[in-house]
Amino acid sequence: MSATNNVKEHDSSTTIRTDFERVDAKVVEAARNVPAAALHEAGGKIGVLPTSIRPVAPGFRICGTAFTVHSPGGDNLWLHRAILAAKPGDVLVVYANGAYDHGYWGEVMTTAAKVRGLAGLVIDGCVRDADLLEQIGFPVFSRGLSIRGTGKDYGAIGWLNAPVLLGNTTVEPGDLIVGDRDGVVAVPRARASEVVAKAAQREIDEAAICKRIEAGETTMQIYGFH
């Protein structure tokens, strides 16, 4: 829809925010090889996004700062706006108003996001062009695949960088987002440095425990279970 159809266009600038603080780049780099599950546990079982949001291709891994998008259902105009407004290293985290069964994202948008240096897409909805997305290599996490098309309603209100609720987790712009085959975790920006350090240590500790098990100890002995 457009003004030519007697529909008033929404002034998108009134619901777009770009001046937010992001997780420090050194913290993002330190998190790059830390599993999502380790971050969730190290933070006190925090930040789990819906388990139905999975990588489109098995090898996809995502790590970057959240650039949040609240999109009207069945419409992807605000995702196009987000690609343009986001910065290199940002992960688009998209709430699609509960309208899951649309292909909000495909080959063209993936190419555009990759060219702009974005770090990935996490969407509480579906995408399409799965084979091409895998070939391009830009990490996309979604609820699934759908060929159902989307619209571009210039009168519909959306938001860039307002908090979004995905499942039981509120994602704020600038939060740390990490995703792998096990799932996606959002770590609050203010805690990211602490949680990443704890998660890295957790990985070291668990590797040592596995060596003890290989040497003959049991999990019951090591953890003092009874």
Binding-site residues for substrate, in ranges, read: 106-109, 128
Spell out where 49-173 has E strands: 54-55, 62-70, 90-95, 120-124, 126-127, 140-142, 144-145, 159-160, 164-166, 169-171
What is the β-pairing status of strands 164-166 and 169-171? antiparallel
Q: How far apart are CA 76 and CA 106, in angstroms?
A: 11
Q: How far apart are CA 32 and CA 71, in angstroms?
A: 28
What is the β-pairing status of strands 140-142 and 54-55? antiparallel
**Residues with Cβ < 8 Å from 97, sequence gap 6 or more?**
70, 71, 72, 73
Annotated binding site: 106-109, 128-129
* Residue 28, phi-psi category: left (phi > 0), alpha (psi -120 to 50), beta (remainder): alpha
- Tokens 């019951």 locate to 220
Which residues, in sequence order, are bridge partners of residue 62? Answer: 179
Annotated binding site for Mg(2+): 129
Q: How far apart are CA 168 and CA 46, in angstroms?
A: 10
DSSP 10: P
